[in-house]
Amino acid sequence: MEKKSIIDRNLVREYLLGRLDEQTEIEGRISDNIFFNDEMTDVVDSVEDEIIEEYLEGSLAPADKLAVDQYFLQAPERKEKLRFARLLKRHFETQPAHAVIAESRNLGNSPVTWTTYFRTYVPLVALVLVSFSSLIYITAIRRNQARLQEELAQEREHAVSLLNQTAQLQAPMVPLTLVADRSRGTGPRIPQIQISPSTRRIIVEIALPAGASGSYDVRLETGDGKRPLWSSRLLPLISTAGDARLVFDLPTEGLSSDVYSFAVSSATSSTSGARHYDFQTKVAK
């Protein structure tokens, strides 16, 4: 003998009004049946329609009306169903009586009310509402994507602007280390440095002979030694191991792609005893 499923409509109504939340087992069983039992789904839809009809007609008990406002209508699809039912009710309340009579005859003299049309057309309208909502949702997503892309482009432009400002505030520097002077025969392979248009200073480090002390005169000359370009008197830095070196920064203004030399001499000696440290610059355009 086939066992028929018995569905308690009153229990479904209590479920839809949110009164079974504390009864976890019953609430979970009904939720599962809604997903896996087509008959249960039909009953739930029917009970929802009844609740909405009674809500609009004002026949709900005060406790039920409060449950509808606070729980039942929290679901967006039920709000849409209520909105459609309210529009349909308003339409038939304002429709001329002869039109209602004519429609009653077409339906076999059965009484026609707004609830009849609501139960007949609500599945179709629900489908239309879902499609319309999906269209609005997709359109909103596309608009958000376009807005995000525009904001991303603006952020990129802002980042580039910040990088340019940073480059202007913190001028790039290039290092130059000179160890062997001209007397030690560096030959044609002298140190080279690349100077870009954004380079503002050269950090120079020149190794001095062991035992160096006192201040030193440093002059920047052209390769042929005929024209001095820059000069300064500096004190060497001496490490704990006794190594001495001169460390200073040189402005790149006026330098071109050419061979230059630092003439380094003790401040107490004549310029004839100067050591020359040659280097070559290549200025990028």
Of 221, 226, 230, 233, the residue nearest 268 (C-alpha): 233
User: Are residues 243 and 226 in contact, defined by beta-carbon separation less than 8 angstroms?
Assistant: no
pLDDT(148) > 70: yes
Least-confidence region, from 72-76, 129-133, 146-150: 129-133
State the Cα–Cα distance between residues 163 and 169, nearest whole angstrom.
Answer: 10
pLDDT score of 116: 58
pLDDT score of 205: 94
Strand partners, 72: none
CA trace torsion 271, 274, 277, 283 (10° rounding): 0
User: Strand 173-178 and strand 201-207: pairing?
Assistant: parallel
pLDDT score of 229: 87
Helix or strand holding residue 125 (H, E): helix 114-169
Least-confidence region, from 32-41, 184-193, 260-269: 184-193
> Please, what is the average pLDDT of the chain?
79
State the Cα–Cα distance between residues 176 and 153, nearest whole angstrom.
Answer: 39
CATH code linked to domain 173-283: 2.60.40
Three-class DSSP category at 80: helix
pLDDT score of 22: 82
Interval 16-54: pLDDT, tens: 888 888 888 888 888 888 878 888 888 888 899 999 999
How is the chain split into domains, by residue range?
9-134, 173-283
pLDDT score of 122: 58
The rounded Cα 233 to chain-centroid distance in angstroms is: 54
Interval 234-257: pLDDT, tens: 999 888 887 889 999 999 888 999
State the Cα–Cα distance between residues 126 and 79, nearest whole angstrom.
Answer: 11
pLDDT score of 1: 38
User: Are residues 234 and 216 in contact, defined by beta-carbon separation less than 8 angstroms?
Assistant: yes
Can you give the length of the chain in residues?
285
Interval 94-146: pLDDT, tens: 765 454 445 545 545 555 555 555 555 556 555 666 565 666 667 677 777 77
